[in-house]
Structure 1
Amino acid sequence: MTGTSYTNLLSTSPFHKVAHKLPSYSLPLQALCLRRSTRPFSNKTSAVPKAAIATEGEVLPPVLDSSSEPPPLFDGTTRLYTSYICPYAQRVWIARNSKGLQEKIKLVPIDLEDRPPWYKEKVYPPNKVPSLEHDNEVRGESLDLMKYIDSSFEGPALYPNDPAMREFAEELLSYSDTFNRAVLFSLKGESLNEISSAVNYLEMALSKFSDGPFFLGQFSLVDIAYAPFVERFHPLLLEVKNYDITTGRPMLRSWIENMNKIEAYKQTKRDPQELVAVLKKRFSVTLPPC
């Protein structure tokens, strides 16, 4: 690590001075998981696969909709209720893969546009993804679930034991929603100041450790928390705003390149153009005339 303290990165960030001025975005961040009923694809399966698709070493189950029967609930099976297009759900999916738990935690993908009624009634009343069915309980919230999977199951540790490093990690995890809001705010306006400051924060955070290309040096839950959103925002900002978040930011460019080498993450990725189309429809982003 460099001479700068683990802690107080947020207070020294240039974005910290303006973050509190960001207006609340008109849509909740969970809207990133949704699409308008007017589909950006001619075939629904291009965005929400109805048939099982193969990834490295795993065949993904089909998506369940309002016509689907539930799995045998609370039978001792650990289930991750997820969505193949939701960045919050993708976080927990990556954590599950990183721990090597593909056989122990079964994926149950939910169609977010046509949710099975039994999911809200019998599984998770908030009716959101992700959620985790384990030990006859159902838990939610992506950051909490990542930590729960890391601490409750075997596999490589994804969170530091060192108290100072853990505090630094918590700071970065807490900042993730601020980062997401900054991008969404910039998408709805003309100025790129907010997103530029937010991405500069990531660049500065990535410079803290010299023993690896990730936020804590080595791959951790912090990388998992940011990866699904950077995966979406990078191509979206390039197309909509002609803004490359990696320009002049070598640490962020290296981080993206190294994240794309992580098998646990690669197994969860979708076609960038599909993600861009989903987000443009979701947030009514208009492109300049051709």
Structure 2
Amino acid sequence: MATAGVQEVLPPSLTSNSPQPPLFDGTTRLYTSYICPFAQRVWITRNYKGLQDKIELVGIDLQNRPAWYKEKVYPENKVPSLEHNGKILGESLDLIKYLDANFEGPSLIPTDPAKEEYGEQVIAHVDTFTKDLFTSLKGDAVQQASPAFDYLENALGKFDDGPFLLGQFSWVDVAYIPFVERFQTVFADVFKHDVTEGRPKLAAWIEVPGNLFLGLWKLH
């Protein structure tokens, strides 16, 4: 990742009053929201692979999004989406794998069959994980979210060759980290609770990706 530590200057988010960028003019564009954890997955992937000069960011204001985005770019009207080679692609997990397969840069998909298989298992749980965290905010958040964070603590113990979910940094970490860091902040600020307490593997895992992406993406 050649640009690690370099703060990217972000273009302003486009609103209902903003003109549409040219479509299918040969430019590869990532339509994103700077504060959306789903979109951040693909942003992280782009930056990790060093594609800042190859994939242009187009910020979308989700509270005042342009009509042309749904009508002419992505009918699902959500982010992220990717404009590449005359087509528009969507869904954050699919886009991580698409960028990994179709662009240069370090791979996020492990070649070790055991890691690949386990990665698919952990990825299959990510929607349940995020749903449980959001649901926990409606009740006793600390207690209700505990099993979700325990799941990650246990998952992080599968491989011992690194602090990541598959030992090595991979797309599985990218899928989880925007949500974990966001909820870590919420639980600390709102509930005065440290989600890493009693979870040393989770604490180490959060610290390393946080440093890895310093200057490359923001939660807020």
Q: Structure 2-normalised TM-score?
A: 0.93
Equivalent in the alignment of 1:67: 17
Q: Report the Cα offset of residue 208 of structure 1.
A: 1.3
Alignment match, 1:49: none
User: In structure 2, what is the Cα distance between the partners aligned to 1:260 and 1:184?
Assistant: 22
Residues 206, 252 of structure 1: 8 Å contact kept:
yes
Q: Is the partner of 1:213 in helix, strand or coil?
A: coil
1:141 aligned partner: 91
1:88 paired residue number? 38
Deviating 4+ runs (over 4 angstroms) = none
Aligned with 1:156 (options 106, 112, 130) = 106
Q: Deviations over 1:213-239 (max 9, x none)?
A: 111111111111111101110011223
Is 1:129 the counterpart of 2:89 in the alignment?
no
1:109 aligns with 2:25: no
- The answer as to 2:178 corresponding to 1:209 is no
2:47 aligned residue: 97
1:1-290 aligned at under 5 Å gives the runs: 56-190=6-140, 192-263=142-213, 266-271=215-220
Counterpart Cα distance in 2 of 1:187 and 1:155 = 38
Aligned partners of 1:218 and 1:231: how far apart in 2? 19
Indicate the larger mover: 66-75 or 161-170: 161-170
Which secondary structure state, in structure 2, belongs to the residue aligned with residue 260 of structure 1?
Answer: helix
Q: Please state how far the C-alpha of 1:258 moved relative to its aligned partner.
A: 0.7
User: Counterparts of 1:171 and 1:201 in 2: how far apart (Å)?
Assistant: 12
Q: Map Cα deviations across residues 235-286 of structure 1 (whole Å, 9 max, x no partner).
A: 11223333221000000000111111113x6411235xxxxxxxxxxxxxxx
Q: C-alpha displacement at 1:191, in angstroms?
A: 5.9
Letter in 2 for 1:70: Q
Answer whether contact 2:42 2:92 (CA < 8 A) is retained.
yes
Give the C-alpha shift of residue 186 in structure 1: 1.4
User: For the Cα contact (< 8 Å) 1:260–1:266, is it kept in 2?
Assistant: no
The count of residues paired between Structure 1 and Structure 2 equals 216
Alignment match, 1:30: none
Offset, 1:193: 3.9
Instruction: Name the SS for the 1:209 alignment partner.
Output: coil
Cα separation, partners in 2 of 1:133 and 1:200, compared to 1, 3 Å: same
Which whole-Å CA distance do the structure 1 matches of 2:197 and 2:173 have between them? 20
CA RMSD of aligned residues (A): 1.5
Distance 1:227 1:191, change over 3 A: closer
Structure 2's unaligned 5+ residue stretches are: none
For the residue of structure 1 that corresponds to 2:57, the secondary structure is strand
Distance in structure 1 (CA, Å) of the matches to 2:144 and 2:122 = 17
User: Computing the radius of gyration over CA atoms, which structure comes out larger, 1 or 2?
Assistant: 1
| Counterpart Cα distance in 1 of 2:149 and 2:196 | 9
Letter of the 1:144 counterpart: D
**3-state SS in 1 of match to 2:211:** coil
Contact 1:124–1:138 (CA under 8 A) maintained in structure 2: yes
Q: CA deviation at 1:57?
A: 4.7
